[in-house]
Structure 1
Amino acid sequence: MLLNIKNIETRPSINAGKSFHKHELKMRIDKVTLVSNFLDKNEKKKIYLELRNCNKSQDNIYTITHTKLKEGHPYKKAINIFSREKFPALLLHIAYSPVNKNTGSIRFDFRPQHVNDNQFKELIRWMESKFGSTIIKTITRSWITQIDVALDMYDCKLKDYLWSLKNASASEYFHHKYGLPGLRLGSIRSKINILCYEKIYIRRGEFYSLQSENGLMEVTNKNHKHLLRIEARVKPKITSNKIKGKSLLLKEISSMDNPFLRLVIYSNQMQGELIKKNYLRYKLKTNDVSVIKKKMKKRSKLSRHSLAVIEQNEIDLIDRDNVWEKWKLCIRRLEYLSQEC
């Protein structure tokens, strides 16, 4: 079958145990966005000069491209740093020259999933040699504006369960051509939204041997592992009462709250029980609980009894506390970065 490369996973992640239904669990950070301010005009001038001139000398380690950002973007200029391999991976996007004064001076979008620990350290050392030690110091005092945490459930598909996000009504189902199905829970403007989408895992050696064209790959082996990625996209804030609402600093990343606590998973039997009790007329082609609730509301208000049926079908699929104990392993690279000064 033809499959979008974005639906293929090739990188290993950190083991996070098993679900209560025996799915193998793996976790990692997929992306982290850091923003920082310059200490003075000299620091700004020095870093901007290095960024503008960074690809004038040939580099055999990474590919560097310059980008003029579109109107409406908070920054005017950016550079992209890609790996040098058959399928280049974006490792780092640096945006600078903010449009508004209230926007942070510089933004770093790291994609740590594309490298191992040693390769990440090599990237940081390369940055220091290319842009100078000042830019590393700028990163160490940065704050986190968004972090994407991926929890993978192997041998699991979206249709196996019903999904919901506490205190969120917005959701969106998607299934693009040559892709696999997925579901967004929550608004992209919220503090947290969760994406649940399917991928298949292919080892890198085999992945490189497959035929590909225009971002599509011909996958003939039907024995590849299927996985469901539960990706929490979080805009972390400090939750202690003294400084509640302040952005989380990079050096405080270990104290980030567990983003999977608001995820609610239900048994597929729920719709059948709602139909039996006449709260739902027929089974909907959805695995989104918010869609089911909206359909029920069209008939009558959600009663205490109908909500009880929904709650009774909630299942304890993942030991969230046990999974989150692996967070300290996920952040090793970023802690290394926060200490490099």
Structure 2
Amino acid sequence: MLLNKRNIDFCCSLDIGKNTRDQRIKMRTDKLSLVSRFNNSSERKRTYTRLKKMSQKEFKQYRAQYIRNDEGKPYGKALLIRRKKKHSPVLLRIDYSPINRNTGGIRLDFHPQHMAPKKIDHLLSWIDRRLGGIFNQLLARAWVTQIDVAIDIYNCKLDDYIWGLERSGKTAYFNKENGFPGIRIGSYRSFLHFLCYGKVDANSGRKLVFRERAKFININFDEYQQFLRIEARYRPNATPTSKNGNALMLAHILEMRNPFERLRVYTKDLGDELLERGYLYTLPNAPSIAEMKRYMIEAMQCSRLPRKVDRLIAEHEIELFDKRTVWTQWSRCVAQLSGIFSIASVFCVHKSVHTEKME
């Protein structure tokens, strides 16, 4: 059977145990976007020149592709770094030459799921040499603009439950051709939203063969394990110079607040009970508590739901996984980032020690 390539996972995640339903849980960091700054114009100019030259050279293990960004993007130029091997995914995207003076001098989009810790360290060392030793300093000064944390629950499907996000009424359902259904809960513009969708673990069966440009892959579902991905996309809307002082520095990423705290999961039979009691006349296509509430408010012609309905909804909330226990594994995920995090934290400690000595 054909399956959309987006619903097939070729990467590895950390095993972090099982939930009370004996479903295996895995966890990983899927994307890490950073912005950093230069201390002066000469530092910036040297780095930009070296970045441009990287795309003009041949390297043994990596390919560096220079591109010009479309109009409207915050940066004018970018460098895409892949392994030398054909069809290798992008490991790191470096955007530079900001259009706005208030934008950070350089942005780094890492895709750590494609690299083991040793491979990450090799890539960082390679880039640092190419840029004349400044790359590690850029990591030390960097702050997080987006981080995606994925929880994978095996033998679990989207439609097994109803999904919600505390203090958010935005939701969107999608079901693409030859793919598994998915849902976005929360707004793209918010600092936190979730994507929940089904995937197949390509590492659990025979090696899949496909063409890089092929959109679909022929797969026998009986040979592979399936899981539900719950992906938290956290976008701190702050810089080191922000008045609120809420910037998440790369060096302090271990202190990040648990993004899964606001996730809400309800039993599937909540919909049937709302229908039986006449609070709902039809179920929305999306397994979304926000959509159900919107349908009920329209049907009741009221601005907010009665307390008896809110109580009924609350009675059907469940704990799909222990959020606190899962988040205790965050340090293991950060450890998988290896040098991306350790370089920043080491530089931060050295800077702190140096400051104390001066005082």
TM-superposition CA deviations, 1:161-189 (whole Å, max 9, x none):
00000011111001111322110001111
Q: Secondary structure of 1:53's match?
A: helix
How many angstroms does 1:139 deviate by?
1.6
Q: Secondary structure of 1:35's match?
A: strand
TM-superposition CA deviations, 1:235-256 (whole Å, max 9, x none):
2379xxxx85521111010000
- 1:303 equivalent to 2:339? Answer no
Q: Secondary structure of 2:223's match?
A: coil
Following superposition of structure 1 onto structure 2, how do residues 248-259 of structure 1 map, counting pairs within 5 Å?
248-259=248-259
Q: Secondary structure of 1:95's match?
A: strand
Contact 1:11 1:204 in 2 (8 A): no
Tell me how far apart the structure 2 counterparts of residues 269 and 50 of structure 1 sit (CA, whole Å).
59
How many angstroms does 1:268 deviate by?
0.3
- 1:328 equivalent to 2:331? Answer yes
Tell me how far apart the structure 2 counterparts of residues 205 and 64 of structure 1 sit (CA, whole Å).
33
Q: Work out the percentage of aligned pairs sharing the same amino acid.
A: 35
In structure 2, relative to structure 1, the CA distance for the partners of 1:20 and 1:287 (3 Å cut) is same
| 1:54 match | 54
Tell me how far apart the structure 2 counterparts of residues 103 and 259 of structure 1 sit (CA, whole Å).
26
In structure 2, relative to structure 1, the CA distance for the partners of 1:216 and 1:207 (3 Å cut) is farther
TM-superposition CA deviations, 1:66-95 (whole Å, max 9, x none):
111011100000010112345411110000
| 1:164 match | 164
Which letter does structure 2 place at the counterpart of 1:312? E
Contact 1:33 1:146 in 2 (8 A): yes
**Which runs of 5 or more residues in structure 2 are unaligned?**
348-359
Following superposition of structure 1 onto structure 2, how do residues 228-243 of structure 1 map, counting pairs within 5 Å?
228-236=228-236
Contact 1:86 1:208 in 2 (8 A): no
Match of 2:343 among 317, 337, 340: 337
Tell me how far apart the structure 2 counterparts of residues 20 and 87 of structure 1 sit (CA, whole Å).
40
| 1:175 match | 175
Which letter does structure 1 place at the counterpart of 2:105? S
Contact 1:136 1:340 in 2 (8 A): no
Which letter does structure 2 place at the counterpart of 1:324? W
Contact 1:145 1:235 in 2 (8 A): yes
After the TM superposition, list the runs of 4 or more consecutive aligned residues in structure 1 that deviate by more than 6 angstroms. none
| 1:279 match | 279
Which letter does structure 2 place at the counterpart of 1:328? S
Root mean square deviation of aligned Cα: 1.8
TM-superposition CA deviations, 1:219-250 (whole Å, max 9, x none):
13523111111110002379xxxx85521111
Which letter does structure 2 place at the counterpart of 1:304? R
- 1:246 equivalent to 2:246? Answer yes
Tell me how far apart the structure 1 counterparts of residues 255 and 131 of structure 2 sit (CA, whole Å).
30
Contact 1:194 1:230 in 2 (8 A): yes
| 1:14 match | 14
- 1:128 equivalent to 2:131? Answer no
Which letter does structure 2 place at the counterpart of 1:306? V
In structure 2, relative to structure 1, the CA distance for the partners of 1:227 and 1:205 (3 Å cut) is closer
How many angstroms does 1:340 deviate by?
6.2
TM-score norm. by structure 2 comes to 0.89
